[in-house]
């Protein structure tokens, strides 16, 4: 494989689409409120968000390889790491330096935006950096934090941060938009942990699936999915979001079908895998549709 492509694939670019969706949703909210946005600030924020996402993916890959988790985890399109380190396509040291380099890029972009837009950006920027640094080795040892941390990173940290950069303040509209990925992304990581239960337990991870039966976790999954759609509906009712953002409900039938499939197949991993993919489609399509509704409104 071409050396440059190895570095691209190590970031797991197929997952970084999620960062793009979250930033666009926040940008749509800012555009709806102000009627215009600064495209330079948007580009910088997008670069910072994608770099942050790449950093957490790479550092997680490094830690999983060093702990031996990669050799115990069944590989699926949605879990099990990039596979680059176990295949010896990149050295662990190179991966560590790469992860730290992308983290430094994130910090530098963040510091410039703090200088340009105000210190209040640190209110979400510092927690976001801490989530990246602490996630694999510390947060995964706490079931509640492990559940909520991904959603907090992509929701309140990324969405509120983007909105602040573009608007210069925080408000309830930004908070409402941030709660949609808060529920969705926490759910994404919860569902993607199903194939990894035994491997995660073996290396000391303590997320909900290592402590509670899979069937009970499917009900948590269902509640979180419902929570994301409920936030959207209530936000429109309260006029925090425009009516056109209800276009995001187009994905609701697929979400219902996915919940049903997850509950039915939660203990049969090969049969569960297609629903991991459908869950990704639900999340990305909803976020992109909400962003579209905001920009058009």
Q: How many CA atoms lie within 13 A of 124 on its CB side?
A: 23
pTM across the whole model:
0.93
Contact 12, 282 (CB under 8 A): no
Helix, strand or coil for residue 193? coil
Q: Of 159, 137, 158, give the one whose Cα is nearest residue 146.
A: 137
Contacts of 180 (CB under 8 A, 6+ apart): 25, 155, 228, 231, 232, 248, 286, 287, 290
Per-residue model confidence (pLDDT) at position 169: 95
Q: For residues 50 and 25, give the distance between their C-alpha atoms in angstroms, rounded to a whole number.
A: 15
Burial of 243 (0-12, 13-18, 19+ CB in 10 A): exposed
Per-residue pLDDT of the chain (297 residues; tens, 9 = 90+): 678 899 999 999 999 999 999 999 999 999 999 999 999 999 999 999 999 999 999 998 898 888 777 666 777 777 667 788 888 899 999 999 999 999 999 999 999 999 999 999 999 999 999 998 888 778 888 888 888 999 999 999 999 999 999 999 999 999 999 999 999 999 998 898 888 777 777 777 788 888 888 899 999 999 999 999 999 999 999 999 999 999 999 999 999 999 999 999 988 989 999 999 999 999 999 999 999 999 999
DSSP label of 154? I
């Amino acid at each position: 494989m071409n050396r440059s492509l190895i570095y691209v694939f190590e970031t797991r670019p197929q997952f970084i689409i999620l960062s793009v969706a979250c930033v666009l949703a926040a940008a749509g909210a800012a555009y709806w409120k102000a009627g215009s946005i600064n495209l330079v600030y948007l580009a910088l924020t997008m670069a910072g968000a994608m770099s942050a996402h790449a950093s957490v993916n790479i550092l997680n890959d490094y830690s999983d390889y060093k702990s031996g988790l990669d050799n115990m985890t069944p590989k699926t399109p949605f879990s099990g790491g990039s596979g680059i380190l176990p295949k010896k396509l990149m050295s662990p040291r190179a991966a560590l330096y790469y992860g730290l380099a992308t983290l430094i890029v994130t910090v530098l972009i963040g510091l410039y935006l703090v200088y340009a837009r105000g210190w209040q950006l640190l209110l979400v920027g510092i927690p976001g950096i801490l989530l990246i640094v602490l996630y694999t080795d510390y947060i995964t040892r706490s079931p509640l934090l492990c559940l909520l941390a991904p959603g907090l990173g992509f929701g309140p940290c990324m969405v509120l941060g983007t909105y602040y950069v573009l608007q210069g303040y925080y408000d309830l509209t930004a908070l409402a938009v941030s709660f949609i990925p808060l529920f969705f992304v926490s759910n994404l990581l919860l569902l993607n942990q199903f194939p990894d239960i035994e491997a995660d337990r073996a290396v000391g991870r303590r997320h909900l699936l290592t402590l509670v039966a899979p069937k009970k976790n499917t009900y948590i999954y269902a509640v979180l999915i419902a929570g994301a759609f409920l936030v959207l509906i209530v936000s429109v009712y309260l006029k925090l979001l425009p009516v056109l953002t209800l276009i995001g409900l187009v994905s609701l039938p697929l979400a219902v079908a996915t919940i049903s499939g997850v509950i039915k197949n939660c203990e049969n991993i090969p049969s569960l895998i297609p629903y991991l993919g459908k869950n990704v489609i639900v999340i990305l399509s909803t976020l992109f549709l909400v962003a579209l509704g905001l920009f058009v409104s």
